[in-house]
C-alpha cells in the first residue's frame, strides 16, 4: 500500500464507525462545501481544501514520499522528534503513524468536536442544547491549541526525510464503536459489570498490569448503570462540563470515557452520573490497533512505540 492508500483507508474506516453514520458524515462535508462556495474568490485560496474531502481534519499526512510502497510502519500514540530519530535509527521504517494530532492536525483539533453534538444527541440530549454548550467549548479548545509548537515533529520528519501521518478521530471512532457493541451485547446491570467487561479486553488487561486499568471515577461499583453512554471516547477532546447535568436529564446513568479532568468529574458527581474511566493510552491503543490490523492483513509489518500496546486481532 502507498501512504495515500493507508491514509484513505483510515478515513474510510473512521466514517464507517462514525456515530453520525455515513450519511451524517456526508452532510457534514456538504455543509463545508456550501461554506466554501459562499466565500469571496480572494478567501477561497486560503481555504483548507482538504476540509472538503476529509471529515477528520485532526488527521493528516505531513511528509510523504509520493507512491512509496509501505512494508514496515512504526506506530505510536504520541510521536515527537525522539520517535522520528528512533525510526531513522531502525533504518527500514517506511512510514511513521502517530495517533495524537501534530502539525496542521493539532491546529484543527477543534474542527472534529462537532461530532460530539451528534453523539450527545444520539443518547438523547437535545441537539440545540448540545450545540449551544459545545460551541463555547469548541472555541476554547481552538484557542488552547493555538499556542502549541505545531511543526516541531513535522520539521523533524522533514529533516530526517521520514514519512509521517496521524490518525486521531478515525481511530477513536473505531474504539467507540467497538466498545459500544461490546456493552450492548453484554447489557451490564451494575457499574462493576461494566468494569468486568472492560477488563476482559486485552488492551485494558495490559493497562491493569501497570496500574492504569479501568476505574470508577464517579459513582460506585455497586450502583446500577441505567442507560450507558459512550460520549467521551471520540470527538477530539473533553466536551463542556455543563453537559453532565443535561446528560443526566436526558436519562443517561453511566458514562464510559477515556479520561476526565477534576472539574468534569465534580460536575458528573453532582449530576449523579456514574463515570467509568476505561483508560487513556489503553483506549487509544484499542482504536489504533483496530486500524493497524487492516494494514497487517495487507502484509505490512507493525513496530509499536510510544505507549501503543499492540494487540493484533488478525
Ligand atoms: Fe488520546
For ligand 1, the distance from its centroid to the CA atom of residue 124, given in whole angstroms, is 25
User: Rounded to whole angstroms, how far apart are CA atoms 120 and 67?
Assistant: 40
For ligand 1, the distance from its centroid to the CA atom of residue 45, given in whole angstroms, is 32
For ligand 1, the distance from its centroid to the CA atom of residue 284, given in whole angstroms, is 5
For ligand 1, the distance from its centroid to the CA atom of residue 226, given in whole angstroms, is 27
For ligand 1, the distance from its centroid to the CA atom of residue 39, given in whole angstroms, is 34
For ligand 1, the distance from its centroid to the CA atom of residue 40, given in whole angstroms, is 37
User: Rounded to whole angstroms, how far apart are CA atoms 286 and 180?
Assistant: 13
Q: What DSSP line would sit under 105-162, residue for residue?
A: HHHTGGGGGHHHHHHHHHTT--HHHHHHHHHHHHHHHHHHHHTS-TTHHHHHHHHTT-
The pLDDT score that the predictor gives to residue 66 is 84
Q: Which helix (H) or strand (E) holds 62?
A: strand 61-63
pLDDT averages per 10-residue partition of the chain, 314 residues: 97 97 96 94 91 97 93 98 98 97 95 94 96 94 94 98 98 98 98 98 98 97 98 93 96 97 96 98 98 98 98 98
For ligand 1, the distance from its centroid to the CA atom of residue 188, given in whole angstroms, is 25
Neighbours of ion ligand 1 (CB under 5 A): 284
For ligand 1, the distance from its centroid to the CA atom of residue 306, given in whole angstroms, is 12
The pLDDT score that the predictor gives to residue 35 is 93
The count of other CB atoms within 10 Å of the CB of residue 270 is 12
For ligand 1, the distance from its centroid to the CA atom of residue 42, given in whole angstroms, is 37
The pLDDT score that the predictor gives to residue 8 is 97
Amino acid at each position: 500500500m502507498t501512504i495515500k492508500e493507508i491514509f484513505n483507508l483510515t478515513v474510510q474506516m473512521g466514517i464507517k464507525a462514525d456515530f453520525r453514520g455515513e450519511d451524517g458524515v456526508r452532510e457534514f462535508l456538504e455543509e463545508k462545501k456550501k461554506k466554501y462556495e459562499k466565500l469571496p474568490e480572494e478567501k477561497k485560496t486560503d481555504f483548507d481544501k482538504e476540509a472538503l474531502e476529509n471529515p477528520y481534519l485532526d488527521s493528516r499526512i505531513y511528509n510523504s514520499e509520493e507512491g512509496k510502497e509501505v512494508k514496515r510502519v512504526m506506530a505510536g500514540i504520541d510521536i515527537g522528534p525522539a520517535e522520528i530519530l528512533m525510526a531513522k535509527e531502525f533504518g527500514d521504517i517506511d512510514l511513521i503513524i502517530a495517533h495524537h494530532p501534530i502539525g496542521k492536525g493539532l491546529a484543527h483539533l477543534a474542527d472534529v468536536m462537532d461530532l460530539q453534538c451528534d453523539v450527545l444527541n444520539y443518547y438523547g440530549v437535545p441537539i440545540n442544547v448540545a450545540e449551544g454548550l459545545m460551541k463555547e467549548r469548541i472555541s476554547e479548545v481552538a484557542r488552547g491549541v493555538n499556542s502549541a509548537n505545531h511543526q516541531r515533529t513535522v520539521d523533524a520528519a522533514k529533516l530526517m526525510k521520514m514519512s509521517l501521518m496521524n490518525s486521531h478521530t478515525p481511530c477513536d471512532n473505531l474504539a467507540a464503536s467497538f466498545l459500544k457493541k461490546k456493552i450492548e451485547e453484554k447489557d451490564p446491570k451494575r457499574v462493576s459489570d461494566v468494569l468486568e467487561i472492560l477488563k476482559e479486553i486485552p488492551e485494558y488487561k495490559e493497562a491493569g498490569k501497570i496500574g492504569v486499568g479501568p476505574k470508577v471515577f464517579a459513582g460506585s461499583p455497586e450502583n446500577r448503570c441505567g442507560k450507558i453512554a459512550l460520549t467521551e471516547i471520540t470527538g477530539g477532546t473533553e466536551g463542556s462540563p455543563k453537559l453532565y447535568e443535561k446528560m443526566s436529564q436526558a436519562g443517561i446513568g453511566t458514562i464510559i470515557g477515556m479520561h476526565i479532568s477534576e472539574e468534569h468529574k465534580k460536575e458528573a458527581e453532582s449530576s449523579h452520573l456514574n463515570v467509568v474511566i476505561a483508560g487513556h493510552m489503553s483506549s487509544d491503543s484499542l482504536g489504533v490497533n483496530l486500524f493497524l490490523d487492516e494494514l497487517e492483513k495487507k502484509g505490512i509489518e507493525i513496530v509499536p512505540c510510544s505507549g501503543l500496546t499492540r494487540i493484533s486481532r488478525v
